[in-house]
Amino acid sequence: MAPAAIQRFKRPLLESLLAIIVGFIVGAIVMVIFGYDPIAAYSALLIGSIGSLDGICESLANATPLMLTGLTFAIGMKSGYFNVGAEGQAYLGAIGAIMIGSTIHLPYGVHLAVATLFAMLMGAIWSLPVSALKAWRGVHEVVSTIMLNWIALFFVRYLIEYHYYEPGRAERAMPVLPTARYQVLGASLTTVIFVVVAFIFFAYFLLWRTTLGYELRLTGSNPEAARYIGINSTRVIFLNFFLGGLAAGLAGATQVLGRPPSWTIYKTLGNVMNLGFDGIGAALIGRNHPVGIIFASIFLGILSYGAKFMMYLGVDPDLTRAINGVIIIALSLPELYRIVRRFITGRETE
């Protein structure tokens, strides 16, 4: 890589690294306060997640949906929107995948493709009220997306309980048929990860190499200029949230069509819950850049899978989500980097 490019990415990389360190330090302090051993807990986390091939596969499998929910948030941020609707849209994607995957009979390949696309579409449809409310009624997307997340939770639970439950095992939906399953690569990692990475690069191409993407980005970076050159803001809103919805729907689908051993969702929605919120961290750590998000998601995947191994020490695995929250807060602070840098080098920076 050329030195200029390194220079360009150096500061964002250091900022993300610093935020991650702050997150781990706060996590360690919390563990000490409650009488746990942070060093033992963190090493259990790391050995469990990246200490074996199975662990690496599981971590990558955990990272897969976060890449997409992170992308949803990042696309929103590119136009200056705070889209936290990936959570609910992922639920819809998951049930969409089951609707096609477990009830319709189609040949392998075709079935998989149809189920995947339908799941994406379901996620995107769930984004339409958000866009309509924002474009025509000026309703802020944070409130409308969170409300829709809750509505989605009850709606999907209703669909599972009343229409798509597995006979004899009412606590979950029908698993998808073998013709609608991605091939297993190892542990619970499947080929769906390639579809996800391809989708991310598609989004990258769309955002940086097309006029449409330029319009989306200009609306975020310079709304006045965007208005001045006649960019239709209603169109930008709808496109942005629709694209985000496609990604979030696919995130839900990965947990059904591409996640052994269950190949389905439970009525608690436990295996799709909080994907949207974890994705916010992925987007922010990855600096809202598609490639950054891939690596940030892998980091969070390691964290979330490894967290299970902290349980042997009595530490609740949800602590890693708290660490994720601290990382997000640290990333919201531009001053933090400046202060630490001044502390280390002893001089004022640019």
Partner 1 sequence: MIVPKKFGWFIIGVSALIVTLFSLSIIGIEPTDLLETTFMAMTPLILAAVGECLDEKAGVVNIGLEGIFLITAVTGVYWAEIVGDGVGGLIIGGAIMGGLIGLLFGIISTYGKAAQVVAGMGLNVFGLGFVPFLMVALWAFPGIHMFDPKLVIKTIDIPIGGEIFRLSPITIFAIIVVIVIDVILYHTLLGLRIQAAGEKPEAIDVAGVNVNHIRILASTICGALTGVGGAFMPLGWFGGLVKEITAGRGFIALAAVVFAGLDPILAAVSSFIFGFSEGLAFTVMITPGVKEVVPHYFIKMIPYIATIVALAIVGSKRFPKALAKPYIRE
Number of residues forming the site for partner 1 (CB under 8 A): 54
**51 vs 129, beta carbon nearer partner 1:** 129
Q: Does 146 bind partner 1 (CB under 8 A)?
A: yes
Q: Smallest gap, in angstroms, from Cβ of residue 93 to partner 1?
A: 19
**Cα 285 to Cα 19: distance, rounded to the nearest angstrom:** 8
The pattern of x and - marking residues 162 through 181 that bind partner 1 according to CB under 8 A reads: x-------------------
Closest distance to partner 1 from the beta carbon of 4 (Å): 27
Told to check if 138 binds partner 1 by CB under 8 A, we report yes
Minimum CB distance to partner 1 smaller for 121 or for 146: 146
Residue of the chain from 139, 184, 206, 313 that contacts partner 1 (CB under 8 A): 139
Shortest CA distance to 115 belongs to which of 185, 195, 208? 195
Mark the segment that binds partner 1 (CB under 8 A) among 146-154, 165-173, 225-233, 236-244: 146-154
Looking at beta carbons only, is 255 or 320 nearer to partner 1? 320
Least distance to partner 1, CB of residue 316, Å? 4
- Cα–Cα distances in Å, from 246 out to 14, 199, 298, 329, 338? 31, 10, 21, 27, 37
Write down the least CB distance from residue 285 to partner 1, Å.
Answer: 11
Tell me how far apart the alpha carbons of residues 331 and 138 are, in angstroms, rounded to a whole number.
28
* CB closer to partner 1 out of 28 and 139: 139
86 versus 112: smaller Cβ distance to partner 1: 86
Rounded Cα gap, residues 275 and 87, in angstroms: 6
Closest to 164 (Cα-Cα) out of 256, 69, 65, 248: 256
Min dist CB 326 to partner 1, Å, is: 6
Contacts with partner 1, 308-327, as mask; x by CB under 8 A: ------xxx-xxxxxxxxxx
Pick from 293, 331, 337, 341: which binds partner 1 (CB under 8 A)? 331
- CB within 8 A of 255, min separation 6: which ones? 65, 90, 94, 265, 271, 272, 275
- The single residue among 82, 108, 201, 208 that binds partner 1, judged by CB under 8 A, is 82
Distance CA 147, CA 283 (A): 22
CA–chain centroid gap for 15, Å, is 20
From 108-116, 158-166, 175-183, 236-244, give the range in contact with partner 1 by CB under 8 A: 158-166
- Judge contact between 90 and 251, C-beta under 8 A: yes
Smallest CA-to-CA distance from 27 within 325, 314, 311, 331 is with 325
Tokens standing for residue 231: 């960019």
Candidate segments 132-140, 169-177, 207-215, 218-226, binder of partner 1 by CB under 8 A: 132-140
Q: Are 152 and 89 in contact (CB under 8 A)?
A: yes
Between helices 86-101 and 141-162, what is the axis angle to 10°?
Answer: 30
For partner 1, the binding residue among 8, 140, 169, 227 (CB under 8 A) is 140
DSSP, collapsed to helix, strand or coil, labels residue 314 as coil
Q: Looking at residue 80, what DSSP letter applies? A: T
108 vs 158, beta carbon nearer partner 1: 158
Q: Which of residues 264-303 bind partner 1 (CB under 8 A)?
A: 274, 277-278, 280-281, 284
Instruction: Supply the DSSP string of 239-300, one letter for each residue.
Output: HHHHHHHHHHHHHHHHHHHT-TTT-S-BTT-TTTTTHHHHHHHHHHHTTT-HHHHHHHHHHH
> Under the rule (CB under 8 A), what is the footprint of partner 1?
30, 34, 36, 82, 84, 129, 133, 137-140, 142-144, 146-151, 154-155, 157-158, 161-162, 274, 277-278, 280-281, 284, 314-316, 318-336
